[in-house]
Structure 1
Amino acid sequence: MNALLSDPAFYFAAVPAVILVGLSKGGFGGAMALLGVPMLSLVVSPVQAAAILLPILIVMDVVSLWAWRGFMDRRTLSIMLPGAFLGIAIGWATAAVVTEGHVRLIVGFVTLAFFLRWVFEKVAGRAHIANQSRSRGTFWGGVAGFTSFVAHAGGPPYQVYALPLGHDPRVYTGTSVVFFAIVNAVKLIPYFALGQFDRSNLTASLILIPLAPLATLAGVWVVKRMKPAVFYPFMYVMVLIVSLKLIHDGLSDLMGW
């Protein structure tokens, strides 16, 4: 790792990765967050990239929690978090047999179907506002916890449940910030147990961490100034980009492209 940290190519990949993830953690859509691990994987293995980014994500979560304090929907959290904990446990238990490629492909197709349903409703002139549902929320919370653990792709399943609730953008973003802050904190336990936090990875994380607050606050600044009429179409476009990105990455992993 010492050789890696002295390699300019590492910083050319890692700095943009952290900035994009930080903008996303500030509330600026999940598509950019999905670029973090693949971008860093240009210079290290995907597993090592995920391990390096997780402590940085924790710092971003702390900044986001402060920036979005007071904006959250407790009902959504109480419904989704128990499922998320179960999903993380399943991801931990199946870490040796489940591939990221399969997870990304499945989540990508589900998310694409979610976007296409929104487009159909727009064309038909219907606005789909969903009510809270413990069964649906537990299911999608579980999927979000599982995919977040296995492939750092928890955003799309979360959005499938939370976006149709039609919350104020600040409430939607604040709730997602709390949800993923808790999910990432819980993920630390199995990540330590699986031996993904060695000294070299943590050193790389510490070097990159100063970028985390700046990028996150930039995302917060943008989202807090977006009106609902702009925010929700923007978020659904991000959902489309995320779905296509996941499908591409899943196919690449499985086909060896």
Structure 2
Amino acid sequence: MAVSGVGAISVALFAAVLPAKQSTGALLPLLLVGDVLAVSAYRRHADWPALLRLLPSVAAGVLLGAVFVARVDDAVMRRTIGVLLLTIVAHYLWQRRRTRTASGGSDTTGAPKGRTDTECGTASPGAPTARTQHGRALAFGLVAGFATMVANAGGPAMSLYLLSAGFTMLGFLGTAAWFFLIVNLVKLPFSVGLGLIDRNALVLDALLVLAVPVGAFLGRAAVNRIDQALFERLVLVFTTLSSVNLLR
């Protein structure tokens, strides 16, 4: 999807009409189709060092999520994800406020080609240090891996990680596209083994799959018309709305 955080809305919609575990399995194949389309559109803008920092902790999060799915019921699963996502939003807003205070009230985003200010060698007083970046990658990677395995809800965690790291819009989209293609492929055998993807889920996917390229086209068109500040606000709003829905 062009706006990664908006993907949380699809999680909320599926969970609203299907049991949480069944909705997770039904959504994953559609997400993979969207991932392929996103990579084809934004593959040149990925930040591979950032991806490599995330993947080990994401893998651990996926394993924890698989164990969690096998042990809890739908209600617990939904509410756990909702709480996690709202916590991430609160952390991002706190971190952004602290950064603005340290830099005298100005934003520190805007590094070219998806790179953070620190990576470009132009770090502001509030920009994250290398040690902070690795710590943040560990924390967000665990949450993203866990959330994506449990409810395909890793998008908000990944979105907020990239925003807090100072990624520009295209860097955000390219890095997120590759991230979710890789992670969702890793999740696939776990989802099949846990019984989350069955014949009924595949039939539903066959009925809905044509809507994915339409959504991808609309999303890409929207990206060309949205500035960075509005983009960040949309990610936060959609993340919060979908998280609150999961707490019902």
The alignment's TM-score, normalised by the length of structure 2, stands at 0.80
Counterpart selection for 2:96 from 118, 121, 130: 118
Cα distance per residue 1:54-104 (max 9 Å; x no partner): 101100101111011211111110101111111001111222136231232
- CA drift of 1:152 comes to 2.0
Structure 1 consecutive aligned stretches of length 4 or more whose deviation exceeds 6 Å: none
**Residue 105 (str. 1) matches residue 83 (str. 2):** yes
Contact 2:38 2:177 in 1 (8 A): yes
Distance 1:136 1:221, change over 3 A: same
Counterpart-to-counterpart distance in 2, 1:181 and 1:116? 30
Counterpart-to-counterpart distance in 2, 1:141 and 1:109? 14
Counterpart selection for 1:130 from 128, 131, 141: 128
Q: Aligned pairs, how many?
A: 222
Cα distance per residue 1:187-230 (max 9 Å; x no partner): 1111000112221210110111111112112212221444xxx2
Residue in 2 aligned with 1:38? 12
Contact 2:8 2:153 in 1 (8 A): yes
Contact 1:84 1:142 in 2 (8 A): yes
Counterpart-to-counterpart distance in 1, 2:80 and 2:15? 18
**Residue 85 (str. 1) matches residue 59 (str. 2):** yes
**Residue 155 (str. 1) matches residue 155 (str. 2):** yes
Counterpart-to-counterpart distance in 2, 1:214 and 1:103? 28
**Residue 236 (str. 1) matches residue 233 (str. 2):** yes
Counterpart-to-counterpart distance in 2, 1:61 and 1:203? 20
Distance 1:118 1:85, change over 3 A: same
**Residue 74 (str. 1) matches residue 48 (str. 2):** yes
Distance 1:171 1:140, change over 3 A: same
- Alignment root-mean-square deviation, CA: 2.3
- CA drift of 1:237 comes to 4.2
Contact 2:46 2:175 in 1 (8 A): yes
Residue in 2 aligned with 1:63? 37
Contact 1:48 1:201 in 2 (8 A): yes
- CA drift of 1:47 comes to 2.1
Task: Work out the percentage of aligned pairs sharing the same amino acid.
Answer: 27
Contact 2:81 2:246 in 1 (8 A): no
Residue in 2 aligned with 1:207? 207
Counterpart-to-counterpart distance in 1, 2:205 and 2:151? 18
Contact 2:145 2:154 in 1 (8 A): yes
- Structure 2, unaligned stretches of length 5 or more? 108-125
Counterpart-to-counterpart distance in 1, 2:172 and 2:54? 14
Secondary structure of residue in 2 paired with 1:222: helix
Range with bigger deviation, 147-156 or 74-83 = 147-156
Letter of the 1:130 counterpart = P
Secondary structure of residue in 2 paired with 1:202: helix
Residue in 1 aligned with 2:194? 194
Residue in 1 aligned with 2:123? none
Letter of the 1:59 counterpart = V
Contact 2:85 2:239 in 1 (8 A): no
Counterpart-to-counterpart distance in 1, 2:85 and 2:17? 26
The alignment's TM-score, normalised by the length of structure 1, stands at 0.77
Secondary structure of residue in 1 paired with 2:184: helix
Counterpart-to-counterpart distance in 1, 2:17 and 2:156? 26
